[in-house]
A and B are shown apart, each in its own frame.
Chain A
Amino acid sequence: MTAFFAFFKTYLLDYFVDSLAFGATFMYGSTGETLTEKAGHLNLGIPGIMCMGGAGGCLVLSFIGASGLPPFLIVILGILGAFAMGVLMGLIYSFLTVTLRANQNVTGLALTTFGVGLMKVIMSNKKLMVAQNYLIIPKEYFRFPFASRQDSLQRLGVMFFLAVIITIAASYFLYRTKTGLNLRAVGENPATADSAGINVSRYKYLATCIGSGISGLGGLYYIVDYMASNEAYLSIEAYGWLSIALVIFVLWRPHLTIIGSFLFSVLLSCSSFIATIPGVTPSMSAKPLMRMLPYVFTIIVLILSSIRNKRENQPPSSLGLSYFREER
């Protein structure tokens, strides 16, 4: 028993806390995507939106990071910048798919390509990213409650808790409020929602834009908080895709996203964790294989939920379909 505790304290605790922190990236992405999908829109633009959210936040931070504003204001403005950029991307997406009824998959993929590319241009531009202020100054601010601690807890900061709060709030909103009920109705059966007097387009717009805003926070979190490195932006896209997989993994239930994101990051970083245990050296090929695990688990969940075929575990019925009001 004591041996286990010793092992736990030396290796596992750090690993788990780090996974929690890492998971917040997907928590943002996947909560945002869930909101969008509940409105019946499959937004494959999430990777691009997360990238652009990160870029938006970093832009704001790079200008105000060294301005001497109060720390909490810098943090809030940074978050707002990421959110606003996400909303902007969501607005493009919803204009194309809701108003113009463009194909959702094509639009989403285009948005991803666009977002990832544009983010790289912004992030590598020396004039915009003044002295990389976005990294140097605010890091301590973002780790607000535990910033000074020396143990692994210092990895959890304001934005981690914000992710948890947003996720719980989204879950409460979807399943406990009437507006949430209306939103789910829009994603399930827009014709029904329409005839019940619900403004389908407005719900779709709002859900997509707010969802995209939330996803955008994930990008910022990953760059300035979790990684706090000037190369972090290069890998956000991959985590965007993972966020979409996570939505499926938790069967469109935001409250499970908290556990799901933790599980995903545990699986994702298990290769590096194993390497830290003395006496274990994973082979070169094992590492990429282990990084596949989240996707493998998603497929397993999909298979299981398809076999059980319970109606509640299925994606929103009109996911991916544009809504035309029936006319003769």
Chain B
Amino acid sequence: MPTPALELKNITKRFGHKVVANKNVSLTLNHGEVLAILGENGCGKTTLMNMVAGIYYPDDGRIFINGHEAVIRSPRDAFEHGIGMIHQHFKLVDIFTAAENVVLGVHAGKKDNLKDVNSRVSEIAAKYGFSIDPKKKIYDMSVSEKQTVEIIKVLYRGADILILDEPTAVLTLQEIKRLFEILRRMAADGKSIIIITHKLNEVMEVSDRVTVMRKGENVGVVNTAETSEAELTNMMVGRQISLNIKRSEPVDPKPRIIVEHLDYTNPEGVKILKDVSFTARGGEMLGIAGIAGSGQREMLECIAGLIRPQTGTITFINPKENKPVTFFHKKISQVRRLAAQGKFHYPDGTRVSLKGMSRKSVRKLVRDEQILFDENEIMPLRDKTPLEIRELGVKLSFVPEDRLGMGLVGSIGIADNMMLRSYRKGRGVFVNRSKPKKLGQTLIKKLGIITPSIRTPVRRLSGGNVQKVLVGREISSSPKVLMAAYPVRGLDINSSYLIYNLLDEQKCTGTAVIFVGEDLDVLMGLCDRIMVINSGRITGTVDARTADKETLGYLMTKTQGDKADGSN
């Protein structure tokens, strides 16, 4: 048997004391083959490869290259061993040309000057069939061109082992096809290639062998020719585990938020959401499953009013009247103006005249809905900012994925973080500090938040406590819709269960809860319905009580036969 190009033996990597990213992983890569590493997110694929590329250093285990043990402590060591990794997030300097990026960091001792690099880059490109202009600036390039630069960068350094982390995530169908051709050509040239992916069809298409990983462990190696997508799915998701999470029966489920035909293209021009339609019901928990980055975050942000979808409607159903939210007023003066135009009427049909009425009485009229707006038009939430949505009377709470970035301000204490929700209250220019402080104290007691004081910057709290602060605050406003994205990520078991219970309690009070999760077992144990999103498209909604992992796994990874996408 020939010596493998790369061999990992019993690699273990821990982060902190509790999180084991890789446990005893062994893996072999032969010369001239394409090996796929398949697994769900968070299963340790990228961490494992980062150890080969010198980003992390393994706690345990050995790495052999061409039969010789190698110690890889930095990216530079990796280059010297002929290993090059193309990361999911490109590491390129925007204002440099392709060639300048390629030559970056290559020892200055080598005589090739910047001009020769241009021709060397063209040479490599010609050899493997890339099309690239070495003098083009990165900021003028498409995603696929940037990826090409990344690949040429590692080839220029003489890499024999190429690792590509989710290389197809950002490419169109044609670009994927071309990339795969190039990969095959490189393998034929004797290069060994590892491709990290969670897409089954790509595995089947491009790889020679597949290593499947689950929860940090290598669960098996199969030859691509001898396996099927179904077998791979089963290996990937594993057996079902019952978690014993408290799940109450849905309470009077009625539609609360109706999302129809949502399309969202991000500023980079990538289509993130494609024709997303669904209904979240009050008193019910809707789980959202999907590979990370399939559009979950953008979907929630669209609803929360943080980003604007290009098309589609979002309608909020007022739980009191069980009909869509209609008119919303911003200012008394606005109400007066509309009334002067004759747009308001009393419930008995007579026109409203606000002339001579005091501000106070007008406000009372509007608040108590004693006067009605003529046009009974539905107010779509799309194109509304979070503040406008709140002024509409929609009580919407959002627990974002990025707790300390979007949810809380890390450098201020719990009490002040509570004020982020209530800073508009209070008299005149003064804020009301006592209520948020009280709320903070209640939360500390109720949720058992461990903090030296209410003033301690939340950044200094542990992950679980930070999350409790955030979830506690969002729940305290007694929302009608509660959206939580990965609320238990990085939390220990106890904190996780506490969060599950909080969400379940909210459901029991009639709130529509939307829970984006990554662990299928949790989703199946906690939610009432599970909706699967796959590359920005809803591929199915299943009953969580009867769902099985295989179905979900299939919905999450199945390829959509939609050729229309490839043309852009």
The answer on a CB contact under 8 Å between A192 and B91 is yes
Judge whether A192 and B104 touch: CB under 8 Å. Answer: yes
- With a cutoff of 8 Å between Cβ atoms, the chain A residues found around residue B94 in the complex are 188-189, 311, 317
Chain A residues near B100: list those with CB within 8 A. Answer: 181
Determine if B91 and A191 form an interchain contact, defined as CB atoms under 8 angstroms apart.
Answer: yes
When distances are taken between beta carbons in the complex, the residues of chain A under 8 Å from B15 are 328
Complex-state Cα separation, A66 to B76, whole angstroms: 53
Closest to A198 in B: B105
B93 contacts the other chain (CB 8 A): yes
Q: Are A177 and B108 in contact (CB under 8 A)?
A: yes
A185 interface residue per 8 A CB criterion = yes
Q: How many residue pairs, one in A and one in B, have C-beta atoms under 8 Å apart?
A: 65
Question: Could you say which of B15, B87, B91, B95 has the most chain A C-beta atoms within 10 Å of its C-beta?
Answer: B95
- Indicate whether A311 sits within 8 Å of B105 (C-beta atoms), given known contacts A195-B91, A196-B91, A317-B94: no
Residues of chain B with a CB closer than 8 A to A192's CB: 91-93, 104
Could you tell me the distance between the alpha carbons of A184 and B105 in the complex, rounded to whole angstroms? 11
Which B95-143 residues have C-beta < 8 A from chain A?
95-96, 100, 103-106, 108, 113-114, 137, 139
In residues 1-59 of chain B, which contact A (Cβ within 8 Å)?
A: 15, 21, 55
Q: In the assembled complex, how far is the CB of residue B298 from the closest CB belonging to chain A, in whole angstroms?
A: 23
Q: Which of A176, A188, A196 is in CB contact (< 8 Å) with B95? A: A188
Is the CB of A178 closer than 8 A to any CB of chain B? yes
| Interface contact A196-B139, CB-CB below 8 Å | no
Q: Is A194 part of the contact surface with B, judged by Cβ < 8 Å?
A: yes
A194 x B75 contact (CB < 8 A): yes
Residue pair A181, B95 in contact (C-beta under 8 Å): no
Return chain B residues, CB-CB under 8 Å to A314: 95
Main secondary structure of the interface of B (DSSP, over half): loop
Partner of A196, one of B21, B105, B137: B105
Name the contact of A197 in the complex, choosing from B76, B95, B113 (C-beta under 8 A). B76
Question: Residue B316 at the A interface, CB < 8 A?
Answer: no
User: Assuming A194-B75, A195-B87, A311-B139, is B95 touching A182 (CB within 8 A)?
Assistant: no
Chain B window 80-98, contacts with chain A (Cβ cutoff 8 Å), 1 for yes, 0 for no = 0000000100011111100
Asked if residues B93 and A197 are in contact (CB atoms below 8 Å), the reply is no
B side interface size, CB within 8 A: 25
Cβ contacts under 8 Å, B137 to chain A? 311
Interface residues as binary, A282-321 with B (CB distance below 8 Å gives 1, 0 otherwise) = 0000000000000000000000000000011010010000
- Chain B neighbourhood of A198, CB < 8 A: 104-105
Name the residue on B nearest A325 (C-beta): B55
A40 to chain B, nearest CB (A): 12
Q: Is A179 an interface residue (CB 8 A)?
A: yes
Would you call B322 an interface residue if the criterion is a C-beta within 8 Å of the partner chain's C-beta atoms? no
**Chain A binding surface, main DSSP class:** helix
Known contacts being A311-B139, A328-B15, is A193 close to B104, with CB within 8 Å? yes
B52 to chain A, nearest CB (A): 14
CA distance A112 to B91 in the complex (A): 35
| In the complex, B74 has a CB within 8 A of chain A | yes
Chain A interface residue count: which class? Answer: 20 to 34
B79 touches A197 (CB 8 A): yes
How distant is B57 from chain A, measured CB to nearest CB, in Å? 11
Q: How far is the CB of B228 from chain A (nearest CB, A)?
A: 34
Count chain A CB atoms within 10 A of each CB in B15, B93, B114 and give the residue with the most.
B93
Q: What is the CA–CA distance of A181 and B93 in the complex, to the nearest angstrom?
A: 10
Give the residue of B74, B91, B104, B139 whose beta carbon is less than 8 angstroms from that of A181. B104
Which partner residue on chain A sits nearest B13 by CB separation? A328
Min CB distance B166 to A, Å, is: 16
Given known A181-B103, A181-B114, contact A189–B93 (CB-CB < 8 A): yes
Contact A189–B108 (Cβ < 8 Å): no
Q: Would A185 and B104 be within 8 Å (CB), given that A178-B114, A312-B95 are in contact?
A: yes
Chain B residues with Cβ under 8 A from A191's Cβ?
A: 91
Q: Bound state CA distance, A293 and B104, in angstroms?
A: 40
Asked if A189 and B91 make an inter-chain contact with CB atoms under 8 angstroms apart, the answer reads yes
Smallest CB separation, B80 vs chain A (Å): 9
Known A-B contacts A178-B106, A181-B104, A185-B104; A195 and B93 likewise in contact (beta carbons under 8 Å): no
B75 & A182 in contact (Cβ 8 Å cutoff) = no
Question: How far is B95's CA from A188's CA once the two chains are assembled, in angstroms?
Answer: 8
Interface pair B96/A197, CB less than 8 Å apart: no
Interface set of A (CB-CB < 8 Å, partner B): 176-179, 181-182, 184-185, 188-189, 191-198, 311-312, 314, 317, 328
> What are 9 A-B residue pairs whose CB atoms fall within 8 Å in the complex?
A178-B113, A179-B108, A181-B96, A191-B91, A192-B92, A193-B105, A197-B105, A311-B139, A328-B21
> In the complex, given contacts A185-B96, A185-B104, A192-B92, what are 13 additional A-B residue pairs having Cβ atoms less than 8 angstroms apart?
A178-B114, A182-B105, A184-B96, A185-B93, A188-B96, A189-B94, A192-B93, A194-B75, A195-B75, A196-B91, A197-B76, A197-B79, A311-B139
Chain B residues at the A interface, C-beta cutoff of 8 Å: 15, 21, 55, 74-76, 79, 87, 91-96, 100, 103-106, 108, 113-114, 137, 139, 153
The 3 closest A-B pairs by CB, nearest first: A196-B105, A197-B76, A192-B91
